[in-house]
Amino acid sequence: MVSLPPSLQKQVSVMSMNLSAKLDELQRGDRQLETTVALCEIRTQLQELTKSVESCQSEVSEVKRDMVAIKHELDTVQQVKEEIEELREYVDRLEEHSHRRKLRLLEQGLTLFLSYAILAAVLGMLQFGYNTGVINAPEVNIENFMKDVYKDRYGEDISDDYVKRLYSVAVSIFAIGGMLGGFSGGIIANRFGRKGGLLLNNVLGIVGGCLMGFTKMAHSYEMLFFGRFIIGVNCGLNTSLVPMYISEIAPLNLRGGLGTVNQLAVTVGLLVSQVLGIEQILGTDEGWPVLLLLAICPAILQLLLLPVCPESPRYLLITKQWEEEARKALRRLRASNQVEEDIEEMRAEERAQQAESRISMTELICSPTLRAPLIIGVVMQLSQQLSGINAVFYYSTNLYTSSGLTEESAKFATIGIGSIMVVMTLVSIPLMDRTGRRTLHLYGLGGMFIFSIFITISFLIKEFFGYVQEMIDWMSYLSVVSTLFFVVFFAVGPGSIPWMITAELFSQGPRPAAMSIAVLVNWIANFVVGIGFPSMKTSLENYTFLPFSAFLAIFWIFTYKQVPETKNKTFEEILALFRHGNDRSSLRDSRLYGMIQKCRGIKVLII
């Protein structure tokens, strides 16, 4: 039974007392008029009491409805609480499962077939290294060939400045072809696959090598330019496709070290071209066409070795949605039937980038989420090319002769550069997954900055004390040693990391477009250095390396402030890192939210 409110009880009591008083008065009174008035008053009070009771009943009904609503809300809250607890349990289980999965991924080793696949793929980067360095040693022989062709055509001698310009075209047109190839890399990778693109690219390598090799027979330096352009397109495609393929087939814990094999292949190609280019082997007027023709060897070898290798499992699973083919490829690469961890990691990457699937270059540039990693990828490529290393690769022989070495000694010093590059790249392979990409890149840029200053100092001292023969000899060696250490620190970090980290910063959808943009920027900078260094050397003379020193300082600061560490991180984790601006708590929340979404998906499937 519901009790009346206190105010209503008081009102009823007052009215009852009044009613009793009126009844007593009626009992004592004799007149009819007074009785009628009293009854009217009683009737009025009774009506008011009735209204108050009805109002009270209405309030009681509202209270009952509110109580029912509150009870319903409490039931809902309790249900939500139970669901949250259930989801927490799911999240804990999934986090534990994800942690175990990552540990299993980190335990994967290097198999024989994976080594074979990487060896077959990096032949493309060996091609790049060979053709970067092959033009250096026979510079004088090629210039003499151009003079002979010009005189036979026009019946007059060509000026030395014009010959230098023609030779700089032969050097730099390689980079123009590289721009075109690098820019096309993403399209080729999506259209034909990573492996398919590499196989097709070898046709360009063979055509370009033949054009360069038969230049002297055709008595046409234009044929040399065209061959260098075609081989440049080939190398540009290689610089986009090879790092992409290796990063996608490599296990998580070996991705850094195996990515460094890219640079090892480049340095081996450089060294081979430098050794073959000395006068005792092919650095002669008769031998230099053969030296250029040998560029077909890596292409032919890759055509023989690569068909046995599988296509990238990530490309098969994420891009083509061919899960069974991806499993087969993984079983061969991992030499094991237990490939579920890799499949799950790829699925996680696919979920993380579903909104960015098959992203175009324009969409990539305009995407707020992907802008930061794109800027980092581009600046890392610039840090490689604008460090001044290609000035050393293209013109080291000329640099050494101008610093006081004989031409023969300069060529052997150039071979020393190639040897140091190979050794230090081998040293950096185990360091890559132990020390981390960011740390090695900082060490590399810092060391290059210091020794670029020493190179400038050696040039200045040679000018000021040029009349003292002992000082000239000492400065020549200082220049060689400074250049060698400059190359050492390049091999430690900037040589390999930009190729690798660009592929690591992006998930499967935007990765081809990002690689295309980054490689295009790399080749543009390569071209600018190749075509501009002779003029810069003429204008700045002893201060030639100072602009590179300034760039190295800028790139070191950028790397320190902006570049994240990607060592042992899955593609999903790297994507989440940029999505939340490198904030760890946001990254944790993002992973929690992702786990909850997975839980809901699991619950839906169960229901």
- pLDDT-wise least confident of 136-140, 301-305, 529-533: 529-533
Residue 572 pLDDT greater than 80, yes or no: no
- 221-230 CB contacts, 8 Å cutoff, 24+ apart: 221/145, 221/146, 221/149, 221/166, 221/170, 224/142, 224/170, 224/292, 225/169, 225/170, 225/173, 227/292, 228/131, 228/135, 228/170, 228/173, 228/174, 228/177, 229/173, 229/174, 229/176, 229/177, 230/177, 230/204
Residue 583 pLDDT greater than 70, yes or no: no
pLDDT at 600: 41
pLDDT at 28: 60
Higher-scoring residue by pLDDT: 438, 106: 438
Residue among 330, 193, 309, 188 nearest 250 (CA): 330
Q: What single-letter DSSP state applies at residue 357?
A: T
Residue 199 pLDDT greater than 80, yes or no: yes
pLDDT at 588: 42
Residue 599 pLDDT greater than 50, yes or no: no
Residue 521 pLDDT greater than 50, yes or no: yes
Higher-scoring residue by pLDDT: 344, 591: 344
Residue 130 pLDDT greater than 80, yes or no: yes
CA atoms within 13 A on the CB side of 436: 11
Average pLDDT for 560-584:
71
pLDDT at 11: 67
pLDDT at 597: 42
Which range, 184-193, 349-358, 536-545, is most confident? 184-193
pLDDT at 602: 38
Average pLDDT for 122-138:
89
Average pLDDT for 274-302:
92
pLDDT at 594: 42
Average pLDDT for 539-548:
86
In the structure, what pLDDT confidence band is assigned to residue 423 with cuts at 50, 70 and 90?
Answer: confident
Average pLDDT for 481-493:
87
pLDDT at 33: 61
Average pLDDT for 249-268:
81
In the structure, what pLDDT confidence band is assigned to residue 60 with cuts at 50, 70 and 90?
Answer: confident
Higher-scoring residue by pLDDT: 126, 436: 126
CA atoms within 13 A on the CB side of 76: 6
Tell me the pLDDT of the chain averaged across its residues: 80
pLDDT at 464: 67
* Cα end-to-end span (Å), the chain: 45
pLDDT at 102: 54
Higher-scoring residue by pLDDT: 161, 43: 161
Q: Which amino acid is at 22?
A: K
What beta strand segments (E) does 251-380 contain?
none
Spatial distance between the Cα atoms of 491 and 583, rounded to a whole number of angstroms: 31
Residue 448 pLDDT greater than 50, yes or no: yes
